[in-house]
Chains A and B, each alone.
Chain A
């Protein structure tokens, strides 16, 4: 029995009442949904409401998802619209306020991307899968790739060698092996092009 499942497999399992599949879906996309709500300018409380609303819609539409492989796109779109509704509910002057709200990353007005989509949406979906793959690798691979690509401090190879007690010359080959392993995991998770 494989330990990695793509979205379509998890949706089917959810339809059959498999709780573990639902938990896996939530773990995979929880940061994606919550972070989109935050990027929309909502505070943490409203973002949490959006988070619950989106997954409520998902659980209610499990039987109606015609393209389970597009779950990430469905979640992103649903989160954008839910966030938009939440913003309108919170502030009657939302259009004017949003015009002044800037997305820190993309420099796109929130109103624009909330209504019509964000150019980085595919990358947001990749982030969810890559992070899950990292979690699944575990061990020294997870630690090494975290230090290399996730650590905001961006430690040097010497720092990484020291922290992981790993010879400096082994970091490169180890990194390559870990990325190959991640590639296999992402392939199993259905990431296209992996």
Chain B
């Protein structure tokens, strides 16, 4: 509204042609020199003209309602499209954060406390929980945790760690589970064990990453593992023997730090350099044998005299070396021989690091559905555990051979079983049986296999004998160190000398 002598009303009257001539001239004269009045007049003209010329028509109410409903129908999709990028971004961001967090948690090897399971107990095993001072009897299937202690009073027990390692504890051994931890999903982990006594066979799963750690402490030595199998024998508080069967371990005592590789063994004193033992040499794969004469019902367990201190012993009396084969064994087809289910299983003491191991062979007479449990092999019960390494396809009627733990009063516990291939076997030949065989069982060697023959895979864990190094450059075994006694076993004298050249 102008604040002159001409009011907004006068402008409207002028537009509506409701002024007399005098008033009309006065308004026009004023507007001509009043920009504000000109703007007011222009706006009034625009609005009044729009109103007076408005001939628009109201659309049908139905069409209007449909158009309004149209928006409601499109609303959800519209809002969805608007939200989609934000939701996608939020989802992606969350995903990245979760993945980053998960990756970080996988890289922290001590995040979660883990456990171990006693899978096999033959004899007596005990556990002392972290919050207790007393030892309690332990059965197979029980779990132990970080901080617990496990010992085996009699027989043997197998402890399966969360990351796949298997520890075979011998009678008199004791382990403290100092650290059993892993990161998320077990990608990284740390295992630290303290072995205070006895003999423990460590079958360590390969480390999954550089952040993983597996260490075993004995009174005089720390053994850092990189996926291997080794044996620690605590001989006293001043001396420990470490024997590496597979892989490599780092051995550290107060004065020395070195690496033992496969088939190396050393005695580790507390405050002195390591004393290397003669190199372990794998035995050749045993040849198939038959037992022409049934053996007594119960296997005769071997005497531990061969390895009284779990030291590697020399006399390899089981199996035969190729040089023990008849020299004139020419290949010739052998008549097929179906193994007799009634044939007795041959059980032979093995040359192993532990005295309570035997090799066996015979015909499978019965099998559990899932292979785990009691097998009957030529009338003998052989327990198969998750730790048992089985090669070949076990079937009733097929011949099997392997290595087992023999504990007095307990059935055999198979460590390894090989299912022999079906091929023509030897007819017992007097000539073959005449070679010097120190085993208590009479065995008959088959002749050469006719070609083609499927070769049996070698044992995964070779049975080892102790043989002198070709170039002994390390410290010889001191006389005080328990050492192999080749003459301690009569079978030792029968060891084919050709073994040393292998």
Chain A contact residues, CB within 8 Å of chain B: 14-15, 17, 19, 22-23, 26, 30-35, 38, 44, 47-48, 51-52, 55-56, 59-60, 62-63, 105, 120, 123-124, 126-128, 130-131, 134, 145, 148-150, 157, 172-173, 175-176, 179-180, 182-183, 186, 193-194
A52–B74 Cα distance when bound, in Å, is 14
Question: What residues of B have a CB within 8 angstroms of the CB of A130 in the complex?
Answer: 47, 50-51, 54
**A127, B59: Cβ atoms closer than 8 Å:** no
Question: What residues of A have a CB within 8 angstroms of the CB of B421 in the complex?
Answer: none
A191–B137 Cα distance when bound, in Å, is 93
B451 interfacial by beta-carbon distance below 8 Å: no
Question: What residues of B have a CB within 8 angstroms of the CB of A23 in the complex?
Answer: 68
Chain B contact residues, CB within 8 Å of chain A: 1, 7-9, 12-13, 16, 18, 39, 42-44, 46-60, 63-64, 66-68, 70-72, 74-75, 78-79, 81-82
Question: What residues of B have a CB within 8 angstroms of the CB of A14 in the complex?
Answer: 71
Contacts A/B (CB < 8 Å), 17 sampled: A19-B71, A26-B67, A31-B56, A31-B57, A35-B57, A47-B59, A48-B59, A52-B63, A52-B70, A55-B70, A105-B53, A105-B55, A126-B46, A134-B51, A157-B18, A172-B18, A176-B12
Q: In the complex where A32-B56, A173-B9 touch, is A51 in contact with B78 (Cβ < 8 A)?
A: no
Question: What residues of B have a CB within 8 angstroms of the CB of A180 in the complex?
Answer: 1, 8
Question: Which one of A157, A172, A183, A194 contacts B9 once the chains associate, using CB atoms below 8 Å?
Answer: A172
A55–B58 Cα distance when bound, in Å, is 15
A56–B71 Cα distance when bound, in Å, is 8
Write the nearest CB–CB distance from B269 to chain A, whole angstroms: 82
Question: Which one of B9, B44, B56 contacts A34 once the chains associate, using CB atoms below 8 Å?
Answer: B56
A157–B18 Cα distance when bound, in Å, is 10
Question: Which one of B16, B60, B72 contacts A48 once the chains associate, using CB atoms below 8 Å?
Answer: B60
A55–B39 Cα distance when bound, in Å, is 35
Write the nearest CB–CB distance from B327 to chain A, whole angstroms: 95
**Interface SS of chain A: helix, strand, loop or mixed?**
helix
Question: What residues of B have a CB within 8 angstroms of the CB of A33 in the complex?
Answer: 59
Write the nearest CB–CB distance from A187 to chain B, whole angstroms: 10
A48–B65 Cα distance when bound, in Å, is 12
**A31, B8: Cβ atoms closer than 8 Å:** no
Question: What residues of A have a CB within 8 angstroms of the CB of B13 in the complex?
Answer: 172
**A183, B43: Cβ atoms closer than 8 Å:** yes
**B55, A63: Cβ atoms closer than 8 Å:** no
**A52, B66: Cβ atoms closer than 8 Å:** yes
Question: What residues of B have a CB within 8 angstroms of the CB of A105 in the complex?
Answer: 53, 55
A194–B45 Cα distance when bound, in Å, is 11
A51–B58 Cα distance when bound, in Å, is 11
Write the nearest CB–CB distance from A175 to chain B, whole angstroms: 6
**B56, A51: Cβ atoms closer than 8 Å:** no
Question: Which one of B43, B52, B74 contacts A194 once the chains associate, using CB atoms below 8 Å?
Answer: B43
Write the nearest CB–CB distance from B79 to chain A, whole angstroms: 5
Question: What residues of B have a CB within 8 angstroms of the CB of A150 in the complex?
Answer: 51-52, 54
